[in-house]
Amino acid sequence: MPSLKVYFWFLVPKNFNLVLKKRKEIQKLRKISDRELMKGMTGVIDFQQIENPVLKYIANPFFAFYWWLIQKVIFW
């Protein structure tokens, strides 16, 4: 479990700005967009070796709906 010191470290403006600056640098190195990356993803967990009714009838419909919703939010 992370120490509370880590959370407080982010609250110091100098440190927070350092993180944002580093994030900007890393974002410039990207080769593909989020949209391209997400094309190969689905909202379903598929275990071909295991037939799990909880996964099939409860979790996967929930994940599929969540994935559909998230795509609408991200690509709005």
What is the spatial distance between Cα 32 and Cα 73, in angstroms, rounded to a whole number? 19
How many domains would you assign to the chain?
2
Count other C-beta atoms under 10 Å from residue 43's C-beta: 16
Q: In angstroms, what is the C-alpha Rg of the chain?
A: 19
User: What is the pLDDT at residue 1?
Assistant: 59
Same domain for 52 and 22 = no
Same domain for 63 and 73 = yes
Domain of residue 12 covers 1-30
pLDDT tens, 16-72?
Answer: 999 999 999 999 999 998 888 888 888 898 877 878 888 889 999 999 999 999 888
pTM for the model? 0.57
Same domain for 40 and 22 = no
Same domain for 41 and 13 = no
User: What is the pLDDT at residue 30?
Assistant: 94
